[in-house]
Structure 1
Amino acid sequence: MQLSNEISNSYELLEFLKKQNLLKEEPSYWWPSSSDFEILIGAILTQNTKWTNVEKSLENLKKLNILNFEAIIEVNSTVLVEAIAPSGFKNQKSQRLKLLAKNILEEFGSFDNFCQSVNREWLLEQKGIGFETADAILCYACHQEFMVVDKYTQKLVSYMGFEFETYEDLQAWCEYGINENLDKIFELYGYEISLNKLYCRFHGKIVEFMKSNRLKARVKE
């Protein structure tokens, strides 16, 4: 099967990607992190950089025992800046991490309560958090039912002949095809996969497909 404009909705795209066996060696929810808290921090650090750089920053934070809100707030700014330097924009990101940690503790009291209670509107009010970062936090760290769409997603569906004016239009297209075909998807997977896990794996399949350089070979000109 070739990826082409014959794919008319996101369910058919998911079906195509699933046949590629892209996530065989990946974690169940795709995002490469050992904890939901690390996912939250990583979602901020990964802005405008490669994930390999974020992993170096997270390892530095682990060694310094700065992977909790209280530690992020209390640590000397210079220490935090040096720890996350591999991710780039170190001064800006350190300030945003400190502010976010402070705001979360003031508003929610704990990380667990944050994950259960936070909504998209609150996240988008935080400095430095846009649509993609907010949805990554909601989907991967908080396990809420939001589909992350990124530049890989936009490029892929563009090859399929679809163009969207806004992030939210593209997200709606991705989510609609999934929600309208859940029965077929359960058959495809062989069990009633949760919508959150499905969104995680669908986004992961898109990213891995685009990174694998298979696109040029499979897309019809």
Structure 2
Amino acid sequence: MEFSNSYELLIELRKKELLKNKPKRWWPNFGTFEVVVGAILTQNTKWENVEKALTQWKMQNGEWRLEDIACCEPSYLAELIKPAGFYNQKSKRLITLSRNILRDFGDFESFKENVDREWLLSQKGIGFETADSILCYACGRETMVMDAYTKRLMKKHGYEFESYDEMKEWFERGVEENWDKLANFYKNDLNLCYSRYHGKIVEFMKRG
């Protein structure tokens, strides 16, 4: 697989039908509070472990709701999310984040509409990848997520970047400069392109 920009890489990945039988925007339950939870839980663990943790909460409490987590006992939440690892730390961070969302935005819908990257990065335990995952998959923003799979793919093909944002800018520039060629694939929805692009990279790298 050869490419000189992110548009060419995307075209190569599109040929492989990597997202067959996957959700439209790749991340399960796109646009819900569960995505915020998943973005925190997936830090330093495999997604399969996150799914177990997400399911354990649902079996006990139903859907993940912002208000429920904000008033949850840390020890109770920690026990349910144990499969995701670092459960005591993640429990406290999820509760604090939920309370801060309610304090600053009032509810989850307002959060989705008004939150920005700077606010997310000011929250304890949220770095660039987690912030962009929340913006892209929970809030539907036009932003590309960089992760370990992406970094590994680029390094394999001779590309190394000095920072997260430098790699992100490389990916977004190639898409935006060629958007007229891609628009029909993604129904003129740039975020659909970014969410599926990130998903393609992850699925491709998982296949080895």
TM-score category (smaller protein):
over 0.9
Number of the residue aligned with 1:199: 194
CA pair 34-14 structure 1, distance change in 2 beyond 3 A = closer
Residue aligned with 2:61, SS = coil
Give the secondary-structure state (helix, strand or coil) at the position aligned to 2:7: helix
Determine if contact 2:183/2:189 at 8 Å carries over to the other structure: no
Map of 1:64 onto structure 2: 60
- Is residue 165 of structure 1 aligned with residue 162 of structure 2? yes
**Correspondence for 2:178:** 181
The 1-side partners of 2:176 and 2:39 are apart by: 26
Q: Higher relative contact order at CA 8 Å, sep ≥6: structure 1 or structure 2?
A: 1
Matched, 1:8 2:4: yes
1:212 aligns with 2:207: yes
Shift of 1:192: 2.9
Normalized against structure 1, the TM-score is what? Answer: 0.90
Q: Tell me the CA shift for residue 162 of structure 1.
A: 1.4
Identical amino acids, percent of aligned pairs: 54
Indicate whether 1:24 and 2:20 are aligned.
yes
Which residue of 46, 50, 54 maps to 2:50?
54
1:99 and 2:96 aligned? yes
Q: Quick check: 2:70–2:99 contact (8 Å CA) kept in 1? A: yes
SS at match of 2:96: helix
Seen in structure 2, the aligned counterparts of structure 1 residues 94 and 123 have a Cα distance that, compared at 3 Å, is same
The one-letter code matched in structure 2 to 1:55 is E
Cα distance in 2 between the residues matched to 1:193 and 1:36 = 22
1:139 partner letter: C
Query: Which of structures 1 and 2 has the bigger CA Rg?
Result: 1
Provide structure 2 residue ranges, at least 5 long, that are not aligned to the other structure: none
Of 122, 125, 128, which residue of structure 1 is paired with 2:119?
122
Q: CA deviation at 1:143?
A: 0.2
The match for 2:74 is 77
Q: Matches of 1:175 and 1:210 in 2, distance apart?
A: 20
Q: Is 2:46 the counterpart of 1:39?
A: no
Q: TM-score, normalised by structure 2?
A: 0.95
AA of the residue aligned to 1:204: G
Tell me the residue number matched to 2:145.
148
Change (3 A) 1:71 1:149: same
Taking the aligned partners of 1:91 and 1:14, their CA distance within structure 2 comes to 38
